[in-house]
Amino acid sequence: MPPTRTTTAQSRARNKRMREGPVKRVFMIAERERPETRDLRTQGLGFQLRMTVAAGAAVGLRVTLQRANYRELPRFVSMARELGVRQVSFLAVDVSNPHAFARLDNFSHTLALASEDLPVLDALIDALERDHAHDFEQRFIAEPPSKLRRMREYFAALHGRNSFPAVRCNAPEFSAVVGVDGAVAPCFFIPAASGVTAASGLGNALTSAPMLELRRSIRAGERRECERCVCSMWREPGEARSAPMAFLLRGAA
């Protein structure tokens, strides 16, 4: 995704709308190819995080772990504390789906961890579990250590060292992704159904015949994208109905 330039005036206007509007929780995603933590503290995303926290929103930071940044795993947690966010979460970089997270350009499979990185990641997760036990208990770190180790298994599977972790997900039943072009997709990894846009209303898009068929195929396990999903989510049926979610993807204009 291209960087976004945000002026102080724009940030203040956005934060005013946030204070007065219905938005109470915001996730900001760090997925640059080389996201050094000092940049997140002092520039770009770090500035936006501080401004959004100051506006009173419950801000979460989501970090995409990849070969360029995985060694900074403990530092991301410390940085999240410094920035004042409510929660930090981690997911593995997706190198299987060219359309994931609204990619517009080619991406490199070298973003994934190499075989020699796996023991290093093991040690980092062990240290995080030992040194940040309280952060896990309080769910400041969203994923438990077992789920962080699933990311390790995902990277190992890319090298044929084990099977991909089993995926349990019903996210398309309670969430949707709206692209900057208005296209409505069931999740970040499966493309939008042909011709389905939010132009006539999100509700109409979600109940259209193509979208209903797409969700049916997902429930039936017919989508290959789901086999290697790095961001699965499961909610019980009652919970899913009571808490719908929608994501707006920022992309190139």
Q: What is the pLDDT of residues 32-71, one digit of tens each?
A: 434 455 555 545 566 666 777 777 777 888 888 999 999 9
- Check pLDDT > 70 for residue 182: yes
d(CA 118, CA 123): 9
pLDDT value for 206: 92
Q: Tell me how crowded residue 196 is: count the other CB atoms within 10 A of its CB.
A: 22
Q: What is the DSSP string of the chain?
A: -------HHHHHHHHHHHHHSS--EEEEEE--SS--HHHHHHSHHHHHHHHHHHTT-EEEEEEEE-TTTGGGHHHHHHHHHHHT-SEEEEEEPP-S-TTGGG--S---GGGSPPGGGHHHHHHHHHHHHHHTHHHHHTTSBSS-HHHHHHHHHHHHHHTTSSPPPP----GGGTEEEE-TT-BEESSSSSPPPTT-BSTT-HHHHHTSHHHHHHHHHHHTT--GGGGG-SS-----HHHHHHS-EEEE-----
Over residues 171-180, mean pLDDT:
87
41 or 238, which is more confident: 238
Indicate the domain borders of the chain: 8-158, 171-248
pLDDT value for 213: 95
Average pLDDT of the chain to the nearest whole number: 79
pLDDT value for 5: 45
Per-residue pLDDT reduced to its tens digit, 129-165: 999 999 999 999 999 999 999 999 999 999 999 999 9
- Check pLDDT > 70 for residue 4: no
d(CA 165, CA 138): 26
Per-residue pLDDT reduced to its tens digit, 78-118: 988 888 888 999 999 988 876 665 555 555 668 899 999 99
pLDDT-derived band at 180 (thresholds 50, 70, 90) equals: confident
- Give the residue carrying structure tokens 């000092």: 38
Per-residue pLDDT reduced to its tens digit, 207-220: 999 999 999 999 99
